[in-house]
Structure 1
Amino acid sequence: SQAARFYFGKDLKSLDLAESALLAAVAKYPSLNPLDAPTAAKENQEEILEIMKTAGLIPAVEADRSARIQLFYADPEINSSQIRPAFVDYILEEASHLVPQDRLLRGGFKIISTLDSELQKTLNCTLEVLLQRVTGEEQEIGTSCEASRLLPKYSGLPLADKESLEIDILLLDPILGELRGMAGISDSGRALSFNKPRNPGTLITPYLYLTSFTRGFEPASLVWDIPLDGEEFSKEYLHPGCEDSCDYQGPVNIRTALVNDYLSPARQLWNTLGTNQYRNTMAIFGFSLGAEPCPDCTVFPESPALEMVDLAQGYGVFVNQGYLRGKADGTSNLEIQPAAVLRIEAHAGEQLMFENTVVEKKIISEELAYLLNHILSDEVARTESSYADVFQIGRTAGVKVGAVPGSDSGWVIGYTQQIVTAVWAGSPGGEDLDVDTFQVTSSLWRAITQYTSRDQTSEDWDSPQGIVTLDVCYPSGMLPAEYCPRIVREVFIQGNEPQGVDTLFQAIQVNRETGLLASVFTTSPQIEERVYLKVPAEAKEWAEKSGIDIPPTLYDLENLDQTQEDFTVVTPNNLSFVKGQVRITGTIPEDEFVSARLQFGVGMNPRSWIQIGAEITSPGDNRRLGIWDTTELNDGIYALQLVVIKERQQIEKVSLVVSVDNTPPEMALKTDLLEGDIPYLAGKEILFEVDFENSSEIQQVDFYLNDDLLATRRVPPYIHAWPLTLGEFELIVVATDQANNKTELSTSFDVIRE
């Protein structure tokens, strides 16, 4: 009786032979019904009629006539060959985990879903209005579709063929883990499906950065939005939605890169983490990950296509402060899945399934969830993109655009503390679309989110105890320093706060005339201080093309051989190597002499000086000025300076630069002596060769064989060819560096007859 009313809108006794045979066929093959398989259903009906005719139950003429009759169904969607709402299939699929679907389709069951019927009507009518606007067929909005009045005006070109566009929307209550609404619109004739894996585009970037947060990164951490080395992506491709301003931004923090979809930093992170690490993170969140990678996921290659329900559930974890909520069984292989069915009732009200019990699983810490919520709801950070205005809805909401570079499809997933709303728009068959899918998805998200939250209070995200707030320098994320261009307030997981001050912007003294780094040889009037952005090697090409000054690397040595009248430092020589106790000699004239001192500092242009020994109280010609103890100093470049104070407080200086090297050179023997035994061969030579980590500091290398000097080499390669001779030998190699540090290497070997 129920089937008669469902398919034909009649009592069972009012059916004719053709209609009765159709119902008999559906009872025998429930899955082959006019809704899901109209052709097969008609063939099965004809088979039933043929069986009845053969059995003599009905006349042959009556059987043939009934087989030719066109059937008219009560459901207008069947008559027009349209497809039933996608949520029906989703609910039936979930219900079939309790009652086999063939049994369900025979009738006699009442399925109570989690969907809100009024909200479902609102979704459907709002979709209709939106599609009318996109196709330029907008009509007057009825009073029954309040949410559609919240749709922003569509400013794109009208879509000529509305069959080429599909729009899907899904609403999830993340607190209870229940679906509240599922709707879609398409005139293509293709079935809508919320379980269809699609390219998620940039919806995955929060999970990439979440993985980096588990490794000590924070929203304030520095990343570089620069062209990708070895990649052919255009700047427009890596800045979806940038409209007319698609330039690389250079140094930004993770917060800015994430909310504005700067994809170069995300791709760099993808290359660092690898596909497996990303898939592990997604699996923890419960995503259904297919074995085959998404074929058109070009920015993040080898990443899987994802389902809309899974995506909504994944973002719901952020709402729930790190917890995944739902029911323990569902329509996929997930351990926890959003519920679409509350209960099923059989004949006489017998209840087969009681109301769902919410189960939950901790996925990430509250602190990690808070970082994502804080970023995705940051309207200030989002103002740097074209996404800004549409997502300002007067309340706290986390939003992520799912741009799909190279495709006309797109996503928006956003959430308040009560509801997650996921929207997708694109071509059901993958064809090109002459429509702004971002406008479509963002407008629908905005209207529905404002509508569903109209009677709810706006609340900020609760900050867990493990979160601290600090003022830091943007974009480095380090503590503010003197030259920090901008100070921002940032959130950190306790223990990951920055410890050092900003080093991204540095003040450097240069020669104002040449632009070279100032040295002790640069005169004071020539020195000026300039602030530079410290650019890593991979960003230098971007900086040069962007007109950003790169800090100089060469020093000003124009006055290298400076002298001050008739006083000077005689030893050590300028640009020489020194070690240990360094004897300093020089000449100081008697004329107007008051006192003098020796001092040294680190580098070519020291910011501070350390005096060597006591004041020099008497002048002299080529006399000892002092002893400089370098034994406790780090190896490196040092400036040495003689300061002479004359009468009338005149001060004169003479400077030189030396390299302190108290470390013997590291030497390795490259010759393979075959574990000590070398077969003799007349006329054959063997090459004795040594190598150094830094050969430029080597003064000479001496080769000894059985204490006899074979050769001395002063330039690389350090090789000596020795003709084989029978006997026992000890090879000794002595290396001397520019500071006269010595290293000795010895090895013994035999030359034997075979």
Structure 2
Amino acid sequence: EALASPVRLDPELPEPGGPAAEFLVRAREQLADLLGPGFASRGGLRIVTSLDLDLQLQAACVAASQAARLSGELPGTILPAADGSPCVAASLLAPLRPGDAGIDRGLEALSVVVLDPQTGQVLSMVGLRRADNAWDDLGLGLASQMPRRAGPTLYPFIYLTAFATGYSPGGMVLDIPTTVVDPGEDEPYSPENSDGLSRGPIRFRTALANTLPVPAARTLAVLGPESVLRTARQMGIESLESPLGAGVRWVMEEGRATLLDLAQGYGVVAARGMMSGANIGLVEGESEIDPTLVLRVEDAQGNVLYDWQREERAVLSPQLAYLLADVLSDEPARWESLGHPNALEIGRPAGVVTGTGAGEADAWAMGFTPARVVGVWMGTLDESPAEGLSPVSAVGTVWSAILRYASLQAPPEGWDMPPGLSVVEVCDPSGLLPTAYCPNVVREVFIQGTEPTHYDTLYQPFRVNRETGKLATLFTPLDLVEERVYLVPPPEAAAWAEAAGIEQPPQEYDTLTSQPPNLLVNITAPFAFGVVRGEIPIEGSAIPEDFTSYRLQYGQGLNPTRWVQIGIDEEEPVEAGRLGEWDTEGLSGLYTLQLLVVREEGRVATAAVPVTIDNTAPIVTMLSPESGAELQVRPGGAVVVEFGVADNLGIERVQIIVDQRTVATLSEGPYSIRWTPAAAGEHTLFARAYDLAGNRAESVPVTVVVRR
């Protein structure tokens, strides 16, 4: 939308207070790039720009009105436009928070950029500076020349990088107390959310929609800062210049960008992955696409010196652009932190990010529809804190008012889902397939091939004795057993769960109650809680009245939810004899062995015994003396011989052997003896250990030399 009449650019800078001074600063820079630094000396140039004058006037007066309100003026202050016309757009400003009324928040400057993402044309650029309680556009280059701490406006590029590497909006990220140690940094970095809360497991969608620093920092640490910075620069954030080896803290707190660059980056998302604008070759063989301000240049004789043609480049796949736009425009996802309704809801699909940079000197609102990108920055020029400045009610409402005014004539348009995406129901917040125990099932968008294939593990059912509160076993009376569902977070979030008071499943099993033996259906070997290994003979009886068949099966733990059959169903009864054999190879830990006897009419009788399976041999190492050691031992003197022995369940005995003769057998540690050599010369020492299941292991033999 160009001006109806062309503008003339004189060599001098525009006068302070002009309606488009900020815009003209960047326009002059672009003319110098196009025509050379001496373009102004030609004189009489006729230049057509992309400036929408009405939008420029309204954006400037909206920004000035809000700035005045935040500087202690009356809460309903509306300043006229620079040409004296009414500031219609200011009527769209949300009321100030009660705590802001009559308070000077210490603002010094404010800038606005409005961009058409489909063409890359800059429609409005405002840069206001406070002077003598007035707000004027002085052409300081606030929007295009002054990089500021970008803070949360960089979060979308963190998650975009994650989505490009296989993560999805529905995936899980932890919002828990976090410490990141960057290489070369003396102090660890511990980000905090602005509300001081830790939410535990949440979806990436929730983390980004609510602009939460902790999950953003955790995701950034996993991806690596350099990959995220590379993504941002590819999106047009060229002002984001990072030092070598920039770490997580630098990206989160020190990374700087201009408002214009950020608007271009967000515009790529708005335009479904396409970057549009002016292709300006600064170095031979190189070109870049910049936001467009200059559309046409003619000399005094009417010769065309430059005629803009839209250049576009695919920067993102349509699928990635859609994922990011879908998250940033998800109004219900923002309700957790902003409530509903809120200042960022404009009556049409719009993606938006608000937040404050480190030090509270920079407050941002960056957002877009398919047709418009609006970016707003407020802050201080000396980077002193503007304390108490709300990024939503102070900056977000300016963004909302300008975007609503700029979209008055446009139909409400969203983003159509491109091919290559799928919608899947998942469990919130794990992002995995829902089970019957998932309390909140949501629909999430995935790039095809990245959909979840496993079921949720956060919400797990446990059978509990309701009287004792302990885990039920097969031996717990059925009338006391109830199923309870617990949120079981990953181990690294266990401390968060405890601090948040989230009840965790009991760790202890119910006490076994003694019951009179069943002489007709029982297991007599192995015995209860015995330690076994290898091939285990199973003995007992299966001789109830009306016997039909019996089956042996096992399951993990004291209250298995899954059983594995041993052998086949047997149709011959057994009395005090061999029921079968159980090959335990590959198993380890606590298991329950069950005998299930089927009687006529489908009646069932059972017997069960818990056993511990240990198929892992101990580890035996010699601690002293060392191999090849020469020991000076007087006649009758002794040498300390010590072995290290470890096992997953327990050691039954350790034999210490010297020259093929057992000199000691130890049943508990420490596994050391004082050995008195019978003669001088070479001796070979090793140890043989047996665990509770009978697994055996030996240490590497060690040869020592005894000298008198």
TM-score interval w.r.t. the shorter chain?
A: 0.7 to 0.9
1:646-657 matches, cutoff 5 A: 654-657=607-610
1:439-454 matches, cutoff 5 A: 439-454=393-408
Q: Which is further off, 378-387 or 475-484?
A: 378-387
Equivalent-residue separation in structure 2 for 1:417 and 1:544 (angstroms): 44
Contact 1:294/1:305 (8 A) holds in 2:
no
- Residue 564 of structure 1: which of 514, 517, 536 is its match? 517
Contact 2:78/2:87 (8 A) holds in 1:
no
The answer to whether residue 298 in structure 2 is matched with residue 355 in structure 1 is no
Contact 1:570/1:585 (8 A) holds in 2:
yes
Equivalent-residue separation in structure 1 for 2:314 and 2:641 (angstroms): 66
Residue number in structure 2 paired with 1:150: 92
Residue number in structure 1 paired with 2:4: none
1:15-34 matches, cutoff 5 A: none
TM-fit CA distance, 1:122? 2.5
The answer to whether residue 162 in structure 2 is matched with residue 227 in structure 1 is no
- Residue 291 of structure 2: which of 322, 334, 338 is its match? 338
For the residue of structure 1 that corresponds to 2:653, the secondary structure is: strand
1:95-134 matches, cutoff 5 A: 95-99=31-35, 101=37, 104=40, 107-134=43-70
Equivalent-residue separation in structure 2 for 1:663 and 1:131 (angstroms): 72
The answer to whether residue 236 in structure 2 is matched with residue 286 in structure 1 is yes
The aligned amino acid for 1:146 is V
Equivalent-residue separation in structure 1 for 2:312 and 2:170 (angstroms): 31
Q: Which is further off, 101-110 or 573-582?
A: 101-110
Equivalent-residue separation in structure 1 for 2:400 and 2:586 (angstroms): 65
Contact 2:551/2:566 (8 A) holds in 1:
yes
TM-fit CA distance, 1:722? 5.4
The gaps in structure 1 that reach 5 residues or longer are 8-29, 36-74
Contact 1:330/1:337 (8 A) holds in 2:
no
Residue number in structure 2 paired with 1:26: none
Change beyond 3 A, Cα 1:690–1:148: same
- Residue 325 of structure 1: which of 260, 269, 276 is its match? 276
Contact 1:601/1:607 (8 A) holds in 2:
no
- Residue 573 of structure 2: which of 597, 614, 617 is its match? 617
Contact 1:201/1:297 (8 A) holds in 2:
no
Residue number in structure 2 paired with 1:174: 117
For the residue of structure 1 that corresponds to 2:307, the secondary structure is: coil
Equivalent-residue separation in structure 2 for 1:505 and 1:638 (angstroms): 23
Equivalent-residue separation in structure 2 for 1:672 and 1:304 (angstroms): 58
TM-fit CA distance, 1:543? 2.5
Change beyond 3 A, Cα 1:748–1:161: closer
Contact 2:421/2:445 (8 A) holds in 1:
yes
The aligned amino acid for 1:169 is V
The answer to whether residue 458 in structure 2 is matched with residue 504 in structure 1 is yes
Equivalent-residue separation in structure 1 for 2:189 and 2:209 (angstroms): 20
The aligned amino acid for 1:410 is A
How high is the TM-score relative to the length of structure 1? 0.78
Contact 1:201/1:410 (8 A) holds in 2:
no
Contact 1:413/1:422 (8 A) holds in 2:
yes
Residue number in structure 2 paired with 1:57: none
Equivalent-residue separation in structure 2 for 1:718 and 1:328 (angstroms): 78
For the residue of structure 2 that corresponds to 1:447, the secondary structure is: helix
Q: Which is further off, 292-301 or 629-638?
A: 292-301
Q: Which is further off, 200-209 or 321-330?
A: 321-330
| CA deviations over 1:344-393 (Å, ceiling 9, x no partner) | 444434444x2234333433322111110111111222222216532322
1:229-244 matches, cutoff 5 A: 238-240=192-194
For the residue of structure 2 that corresponds to 1:381, the secondary structure is: helix
The answer to whether residue 161 in structure 2 is matched with residue 211 in structure 1 is yes
Change beyond 3 A, Cα 1:84–1:596: closer
Contact 1:577/1:738 (8 A) holds in 2:
yes
Change beyond 3 A, Cα 1:573–1:471: same
Equivalent-residue separation in structure 2 for 1:293 and 1:448 (angstroms): 38
Change beyond 3 A, Cα 1:325–1:750: farther
Q: Which is further off, 138-147 or 387-396?
A: 138-147
Q: Which is further off, 286-295 or 458-467?
A: 286-295
The answer to whether residue 30 in structure 2 is matched with residue 77 in structure 1 is no
TM-fit CA distance, 1:402? 3.0
Which is higher, the Rg of structure 1 or of structure 2? 1
Residue number in structure 2 paired with 1:23: none
| CA deviations over 1:5-34 (Å, ceiling 9, x no partner) | 999xxxxxxxxxxxxxxxxxxxxxx8xx7x
The answer to whether residue 535 in structure 2 is matched with residue 581 in structure 1 is yes
| CA deviations over 1:671-693 (Å, ceiling 9, x no partner) | 6856xx4345446947553454x
TM-fit CA distance, 1:170? 0.3
Equivalent-residue separation in structure 2 for 1:737 and 1:501 (angstroms): 38
For the residue of structure 2 that corresponds to 1:265, the secondary structure is: helix
The answer to whether residue 239 in structure 2 is matched with residue 308 in structure 1 is no
Residue number in structure 2 paired with 1:414: 367
For the residue of structure 1 that corresponds to 2:476, the secondary structure is: coil
Residue number in structure 2 paired with 1:376: 328
Equivalent-residue separation in structure 2 for 1:508 and 1:526 (angstroms): 13
The aligned amino acid for 1:329 is I
Going by fraction, where is helix more abundant, 1 or 2?
A: 1
For the residue of structure 2 that corresponds to 1:429, the secondary structure is: coil
Change beyond 3 A, Cα 1:556–1:152: same
Residue number in structure 2 paired with 1:705: 658
Equivalent-residue separation in structure 2 for 1:387 and 1:348 (angstroms): 60
TM-fit CA distance, 1:666? 4.8
Change beyond 3 A, Cα 1:165–1:505: same
The aligned amino acid for 2:581 is W
- Residue 366 of structure 1: which of 318, 327, 335 is its match? 318
Equivalent-residue separation in structure 1 for 2:652 and 2:41 (angstroms): 92
- Residue 463 of structure 1: which of 406, 414, 417 is its match? 417
Equivalent-residue separation in structure 1 for 2:641 and 2:263 (angstroms): 69
Q: Which is further off, 488-497 or 426-435?
A: 426-435
Change beyond 3 A, Cα 1:193–1:254: same
- Residue 258 of structure 1: which of 175, 194, 208 is its match? 208
Contact 1:223/1:254 (8 A) holds in 2:
yes
| CA deviations over 1:147-178 (Å, ceiling 9, x no partner) | 33322333442355587342210012222223
TM-fit CA distance, 1:545? 3.6
For the residue of structure 2 that corresponds to 1:509, the secondary structure is: strand
- Residue 193 of structure 1: which of 130, 133, 142 is its match? 142
For the residue of structure 2 that corresponds to 1:659, the secondary structure is: strand
The answer to whether residue 15 in structure 2 is matched with residue 89 in structure 1 is no
Contact 1:93/1:331 (8 A) holds in 2:
no
Change beyond 3 A, Cα 1:129–1:229: closer
Q: Which is further off, 127-136 or 527-536?
A: 127-136
TM-fit CA distance, 1:707? 1.7
For the residue of structure 2 that corresponds to 1:455, the secondary structure is: coil
Equivalent-residue separation in structure 2 for 1:106 and 1:701 (angstroms): 99
How many percent of aligned residue pairs carry the same amino acid?
32
Equivalent-residue separation in structure 2 for 1:118 and 1:650 (angstroms): 86
Change beyond 3 A, Cα 1:331–1:596: same
Equivalent-residue separation in structure 1 for 2:544 and 2:444 (angstroms): 63
The aligned amino acid for 1:180 is L
Q: Which is further off, 530-539 or 434-443?
A: 434-443
TM-fit CA distance, 1:734? 2.7
TM-fit CA distance, 1:447? 1.7
Contact 1:286/1:314 (8 A) holds in 2:
yes
Equivalent-residue separation in structure 2 for 1:545 and 1:326 (angstroms): 51
How high is the TM-score relative to the length of structure 2? 0.82
Contact 1:671/1:690 (8 A) holds in 2:
no
Q: CA RMSD in A?
A: 4.1
Change beyond 3 A, Cα 1:455–1:667: farther
For the residue of structure 2 that corresponds to 1:104, the secondary structure is: helix
Contact 2:120/2:290 (8 A) holds in 1:
yes
Residue number in structure 2 paired with 1:528: 482
TM-fit CA distance, 1:414? 0.9
Residue number in structure 2 paired with 1:269: 219
For the residue of structure 2 that corresponds to 1:261, the secondary structure is: coil
Q: How many aligned positions are there?
A: 669
The aligned amino acid for 1:624 is G
For the residue of structure 2 that corresponds to 1:583, the secondary structure is: strand
Residue number in structure 1 paired with 2:668: 715
Change beyond 3 A, Cα 1:577–1:146: same
